Structure 1
Amino acid sequence: MSDNFSNQQNYLDQATIPTTTPHATGLSIAALVLGILAILGSWIPFINLISIVMGILAIIFDGLPCQG
């Protein structure tokens, strides 16, 4: 029998790059909570009407400059 191990090439592992996790600002959690509340609130007629008006006002006042 021949020794097959002597003919194999030595392969190096691929270099790993250390990754860092992005800094959490809490904006994603706030969006998730507001999304869940929006889905739950869409089933209640009175809250549904208020949310439509507030959404329109948010779109209107989004372009205005802040005074603070």
Structure 2
Amino acid sequence: MKARKGFTLIELLIVIGIIVLLAGVVIIALNPARQFALARNSQRWSNVNAILNAVGQRMAE
């Protein structure tokens, strides 16, 4: 009998399951919503500092 080369369905399902599990862990670890919130807060603080500097310069005149 000739030996078959290739993967069985079970092997493919196990590999796909592992990939999905690892992708889930990476997505949870990165937490994109939190990263976007931090970026927005950083931009807000930058804007607040710019306004404070402008007010300070205006008062110094």
TM category, shorter = 0.3 to 0.5
Normalising to structure 2: TM-score of the pair? 0.37
Bigger RCO of structures 1 and 2 (CA < 8 A, at least 6 apart): 1
- Greater Cα radius of gyration, structure 1 or 2: 1
